[in-house]
Amino acid sequence: MNLPFSKNIIRWILISAAFLLVALILWNTNTFFKNFKQEERTKMEILASAYKNASGISNLDADFSLENKIIQSNSNIPMIYTTENNVIKGWANLDVEDTHTSYNDLPDKDRMYLSNQLAEMQKENNQLAVTYESLKGPVTDYIYYRNSDLLYKLRYYPLALLLILFLFGVVIYLVFKSTKVAEQNKLWAGMAKETAHQIGTPLSSLLGWVEILRMDNTDENTVMEIEKDIERLNTIANRFSKIGSVPKLTRHNIVLETKKSFDYYSSRSSKLIDYHFDTNEDEKIYAMINQQLFSWVIENLVKNAIDAMEGKGTLRIKVFSKDGKYVQVQVTDTGKGIPKNQYRKVFEPGFTTKRRGWGLGLSLTKRIMEDYHDGKIIVEKSEVGVGTTMSVLLKEL
């Protein structure tokens, strides 16, 4: 049996055990509820017998202390004692202060309250007859009652239990999910580092071949372009090697670093795009960054802008100081734009509007800025069919 299959079996066993446990608890609670309800019914039957024995004209000299004690012992079951014509004669455990006052002497609100309670009791439980002899012959009164507050609470106990189990299940699911995501992140980080390590070997070989080309008097411009691409590959390898670890941040001129990344992509991308760097190259605005990762951020934004314009339009980058506290880098394109309801979704892993794409560029950019640089990246503004402005913010030094 392989490991994944074994894990699935264990998972389903745990889920089945959890459902079985819930079913047993619900069944046990339901049984307890029925037994408790029957006990209350038995108490009310004893109470009805006590009323029967204590009423009427028979046995006037008998001792009714036991019956009175039974009647007074009812301290938790709400009940109303009525005549055969539903005229209220007495009540107990209801929100009426004076139980010794006759029904007709009560305030209107209390009489209305008792009438409403009587209607509820008639629907909830069958009445108990109290038949005794009077001067006019046999008389039948009735006792109506409803479930005690404790029984009501017990009725909702399974719902509360299910809610607790549901919340517990959600917490377990989130824990498992976060653990799985952490494992996946660790796997991707390991793959990235291994990729960087594997790229390093052919890069060293390529540098040797460049020297051979120079010795063979190959055109210097050609050699320089090859060197640039090798340097580019080396930069990519360095970026991948930093994934999953805390990169070292140093103080750099953001205008200069942004211009480098901008120039690299603009010289190798569509010539139908008008590229504009709207900041004076001599201006100096400093922040703490990791050069390789920051250049990755700018290149991702530039590449996304070019893709959004489908290789034709205007792309602008502007770097400026915002309130002397932050460095802001704006990347503006004249592409297809982003609907407002997708401003946050574009940073989610896997979200893409391109036919061919992994949807990792902006999510990786967001992680680099927020997790490694304590910065921020946002969709500053966008209009469908007009264009988009993305902004990167860093603490200025």
Ranges of the chain whose pLDDT falls below 50: 1-4
Q: Is 304 exposed, middle or buried (0-12, 13-18, 19+ CB in 10 A)?
A: buried
Say which amino acid occupies 226.
Answer: I
What is the end-to-end Cα distance of the chain in Å, rounded? 59
Give pLDDT, residue 62. Answer: 64
Mean pLDDT of the chain: 82
What letters, b where the CB count within 10 A reaches 16 and e where it falls short, cover 6-33?
A: eeeeeeeeeeeeeeeeeeeeeeeeeeeb
C-alpha Rg value of the chain to the nearest Å: 41
Task: Write the secondary structure of the chain as one string of H (helix), E (strand) and C (coil).
Answer: CCHHHHHHHHHHHHHHHHHHHHHHHHHHHHHHHHHHHHHHHHHHHHHHHHHHHHCCCCCCCCCCHHHHHHHHHCCCCCEEEECCCCCEEEEECCCCCCCCCCHHHCCHHHHHHHHHHHHHHHHHCCCEEEEEEECCEEEEEEEEECCCHHHHHHHHHHHHHHHHHHHHHHHHHHHHHHHHHHHHHHHHHHHHHHHHHHHHHHHHHHHHHHHHHHHCCCCHHHHHHHHHHHHHHHHHHHHHHHCCCCCCCEEEEHHHHHHHHHHHHHHCCCCCEEEEECCCCCCCCEEEECHHHHHHHHHHHHHHHHHHCCCCEEEEEEEEEECCCEEEEEEEECCCCCCHHHCCHHHCCCCCCCCCCCCCHHHHHHHHHHHHCCCEEEEEEEECCCEEEEEEEEEEC
CB-based contact 235:260 (threshold 8 Å) = no
Read off the tokens for 64: 């009714």
Give pLDDT, residue 32. Answer: 84
51 Cβ partners below 8 Å, 6+ apart? 67, 71, 81, 130, 141, 143
Instruction: Using alpha carbons only, give the angle 295, 297, 299 rounded to the nearest 5 degrees.
Output: 70
Give pLDDT, residue 1. Answer: 44
Give pLDDT, residue 259. Answer: 93
Closest alpha carbon to 103 in 85, 128, 125:
85
Give pLDDT, residue 250. Answer: 92
Give pLDDT, residue 243. Answer: 66
Read off the tokens for 327: 């460095």
Interatomic CA distance for residues 202 and 195, integer angstroms = 12
Using a cut of 0.85, tell me whether the model's pTM lies above it: no
Interatomic CA distance for residues 197 and 191, integer angstroms = 10
pLDDT, tens only, 83-122: 988 899 989 888 886 666 788 888 888 889 999 999 999 9
pLDDT, tens only, 121-143: 999 888 999 998 877 788 999 99
Give pLDDT, residue 224. Answer: 82
